[in-house]
Amino acid sequence: MALTGKKIRTGEEDRRSLSTRTMDVLASFDARHPRRTLSDIARATGLPLSTAHRIVTDLLRWGALEETSAGYQVGIRLWETATRAPRGPALREAALTAMEDLYEATHQNVQLAVRDGLEVVYVERFAGRGAVRVLTTVGGRFALHATGVGLVLLAHAPTEVQEQVLRGSLRAWTPYTVTDPRKLRASLAEVRRTGVAVADRQVTSTPAAVSIACPIHDADGSVVAALSLVLPAEGPTKPTALIPAVRAASRSVSQNLGFRGGVPRMRQPG
């Protein structure tokens, strides 16, 4: 039989395509758009209105979406499912006490994050009224190369992930953001050597902020998360003087996850 250039769609491909479209609908909800109308969803995903309506109806029936007077929002059943993710609420529970102690000692931003692909995802954050302003939110994402937690997670990521970031576009948020791949590679090596990352004014320079971050290890030594303290670059306390406190907090979380020391593995899941 002669082959043509036309691709024959199989039932399996159709199912994958429907799954992808469904994920696109869910992904259209973010921090800036916690609620969307059906028209908003269709525009954000590029789906025909009829297709968006069909998918939204299925998601409503399952409980992944809920309908309100202002439109649709993420449903409680989706949150319930997400709580079973080991790098989400389970990690958060293991970290809460140490994060609270670090916050009470400093009254600055204390952040817990994991890596997802080429981005940081923030799992938990403590912030006082007088803490330095940050651009991150719980559930929000950020670039790996410009934050303390990102540098830790990137330093312990698989080599192919590091190379993809180093070859990509390294955005600058301030004049201090490291965008030179050679300097970034050297920074990652220093993070692995010292066990701590210091990101000085890389994301905000007004006000000037410094992020100090350390890795969190699971029971087999893999780096599964990072914990950071974000504080003013200029203040009564020199930022680097708080490195031991951040180390102690991250060590406490690692112990809660079953890590008992030894030689950590240098690769993180994902």
Lowest mean pLDDT among 133-142, 235-244, 247-256, 259-268: 259-268
184 domain residue, yes or no: yes
Do 193 and 244 belong to one domain? yes
Do 107 and 77 belong to one domain? no
Residue 6 has pLDDT above 60, yes or no: no
Model pLDDT, residue 19: 85
C-alpha torsion 186→192→194→196, nearest 10: 90
4 domain residue, yes or no: no
The chain-wide mean pLDDT, for the chain, equals: 84
> Pairing mode, if any, of strands 109-116 and 71-74?
unpaired
Last residue in a domain, options 50, 82, 114: 82
Do 95 and 149 belong to one domain? yes
pLDDT in tens, 173-226: 888 889 999 999 999 999 999 999 999 888 876 678 889 999 999 988 999 999
Residue 12 has pLDDT above 60, yes or no: no
First and final C-alpha spacing in the chain: 42
DSSP labels, 7-57: PPPPHHHHHHHHHHHHHHHHHT-BTTBSEE-HHHHHHHHT--HHHHHHHHH
Last residue in a domain, options 64, 82, 100: 82
Model pLDDT, residue 206: 61
142 domain residue, yes or no: yes
pLDDT interval class at 239 (50, 70, 90):
confident
- Supply the pTM of this predicted model: 0.71
5 domain residue, yes or no: no
Residue 15 belongs to domain spanning = 11-82
Residue 73 to residue 41: CA distance in whole angstroms: 11
Residue 18 has pLDDT above 80, yes or no: yes
- What is the CA 205 to chain-centroid distance, rounded? 22
Do 233 and 109 belong to one domain? yes
Peptide bond into 207 cis (omega under 30): yes
266 domain residue, yes or no: no
pLDDT in tens, 108-165: 889 999 998 999 988 888 887 777 777 677 778 889 998 999 999 999 999 999 999 9
Q: Annotate 41-73 with b (16+ C-beta within 10 A) or e (fewer).
A: bbebbebeeeebeebbeebeeeebbeeeeebbe
